[in-house]
Amino acid sequence: MSDSRPTFGEPPSDVTVPKVVVSRLSLYLRELQRLQSAGQQTISSGQLGTLLGFSDAQVRKDLGFFGQFGYPGVGYRCEELIRAMRDILGTNHFWPVVMVGVGNLGQALLGYRGFGRQNFAIHAAFDADPAKLGQTIQGIPVLALGDLPRVVRESGIRLGMIVVPAEQAQVVADRLVAAGVEGIVNFAPVTLALPPNVQLVSVDLAIELEQLSFAVTNRLAKPGEAGPGADAGPRDGPAILPSGTAAGIMPKSLPDAR
């Protein structure tokens, strides 16, 4: 049995990693962390794929963008693969985040503990409502938007979250960019215009439901089947939706954003 050390790191400079691969890396990481906490030390590509509804070939192909991780006769060592995935995803260090919008959804996100498990923490929240300024919610201060540039500068913050109504989102995005934020998660149901050097991830829960309804509708109405009232028969496995942005970062219960 060979125990040669695997090699891994960033993909070659001439290789573009599809976004869906990066999304699956996050899923692999969550599952590996769960397995490690349960005491499991190694796992095969087939086992990992089965747990998440992917083939073993898909798992190996996704990981192959970044190097060789497995050991012959052993598979993947959970601790080692978790560390490598954190390096790849950039979560091997702490990320302070600013959030704009402290409505119902914003307050739910302030209490979400899943951020901390992946090395993210909301450093400060901002709102335009004078009644909310000066409050501390879940241990996080609510500040005026005028304080945003100072907080971003003094704390070296590079990531921001927009949790405001759609009609306010672009103005907030502009202020985050002007303050020096380099990456934005947008929960508002609107498309934002950002400079090319600023990264954007949009989380629209209505779109997530649309993707889900598409998957369910097409499963129940395949060619040769009678439609929603017919017996769908055995499933080939879970449908992999093209969005999935919210997976792994959303609280179990999210109220209205306003």
Provide the residue ranges of all domains of the chain, joining segments of one domain with +: 19-89, 95-203
pLDDT in tens, 205-236: 899 899 999 999 987 665 555 444 444 333 44
CB 160 within 8 A of CB 177: no
Neighbours of 227 (CB within 10 A): 9
**Class for domain 95-203, per CATH?**
alpha beta
Tens of pLDDT, residue by residue over 98-130, are 999 999 999 999 999 999 999 999 999 999 999
* DSSP assigned state of 250: S
Q: Which residues of the chain have pLDDT under 70?
A: 1-15, 220-258
What's the confidence (pLDDT) of residue 70?
86
Q: How far apart are CA 84 and CA 66, in angstroms?
A: 9
Find how far residue 204's CA is from the centre of its chain. Answer: 13
- 95 three-class SS: strand
Domain 19-89 matches domain 95-203 at the CATH topology level = no
Query: What is the pLDDT at residue 240?
Result: 45
CATH code assigned to 19-89:
1.10.10.10
